[in-house]
Amino acid sequence: MKLRKASAAAAAVVVLSLTATACGGDSADSGNGGGDKITIGIKFDQPGLGLKKPDGTFAGFDVDVATYVAKELGYDAKNIVWKEAPSAERENLISNGDVKFVAASYTINDERKKKVDFAGPYFLAHQDLLVRTDDSSITKAADLNSKKLCSVTGSTSAQNVKNDFAPKADLQNVGGYSECLTGLENKAVDALTTDDSILAGYASQQEHQGKFKLAGLKLSDEPYGIGLKKGDTDLQKKINAALTKMESDGSWEKAVTANFGPANYKNEPAPKINEGS
């Protein structure tokens, strides 16, 4: 009898333990500010926006925005888990629930809004050109005719220039922006094109300061938003409220200056939040 009672008691303990585990299994991302974690998607390879540094820490404007938003949602910075969000994987990471939200130079457009919802926009970038500081021959996109224009394979930016502004541009596609920067410095190419925020981030790096300048062209509008799961209007409203607060208390402007200042980047004012992005 005693053995049966002991077995029953042990079984009860196991059941209670399993029940507690099941109830607490969703503690991550619950946002109570304690030991819970929140997973956020960012770029790991964009200086000035989202960059994983050699010491394993993260820096950039998107990182600062995401950290501010997470705090407003109830998470301390130490409880953020950063997940790399390459451009082609952003929608999948959100839809699969791998991240709570994505802040990764993520332009809001109609095609993407079919798959995910957006909070924001929190930044307005434009497609621009990066040229050598001592090069005064490129002041408009048409000046790229018969010049070598560098961009990353798969990017639409360089093709936009070739299609709409400089059909005779000699397009050079490479594997990464660092290759374009090396080519630009060595005069193997004449210009690099992508979002001005990304260009400013590269130009602000210590090893590049003084070598490059932005042409200051506005070849497109790129409103950056925070991507989140389709239909999560509650989270969308909370993030929009956080972004509004970040702009009003001066934290937004401080983050812009800290991350893009060395490139003398003339950013747009904080854009108006679209409540139904």
Q: Could you tell me the residue ranges of all domains in the chain?
A: 38-125+222-263, 127-214
Q: With a cut of 70, say whether residue 2 has pLDDT above it.
A: no
Query: What are the C-alpha distances in Å from 265 to residues 163, 212, 260?
Result: 26, 12, 6
For domain 38-125+222-263, the CATH architecture is 3-Layer(aba) Sandwich (3.40)
**86 Cβ neighbours under 8 A, 6+ residues apart:** 43
Same fold, 38-125+222-263 and 127-214: yes
**CATH of the domain spanning 127-214, picked from 3.40.50.2300, 3.40.190.10, 3.50.50.60, 3.40.50.280:** 3.40.190.10
Q: With a cut of 80, say whether residue 213 has pLDDT above it.
A: yes
125 falls in which pLDDT band (50, 70, 90)? very high
Six token digits for residue 66:
């995401």
In DSSP notation, 137-156 reads S-SSGGGGTTSEEEEETT-S
**198 Cβ neighbours under 8 A, 6+ residues apart:** 46, 48, 49, 105, 125, 177
SS3 content of the chain, % helix, strand, coil (to 5): 40, 20, 40
pLDDT at 55: 96
Name which of 89-93, 151-155, 173-177 the model is least confident about.
151-155
Query: Angle at Cα 94 formed by Cα 91 and Cα 98, nearest 5°?
Result: 130
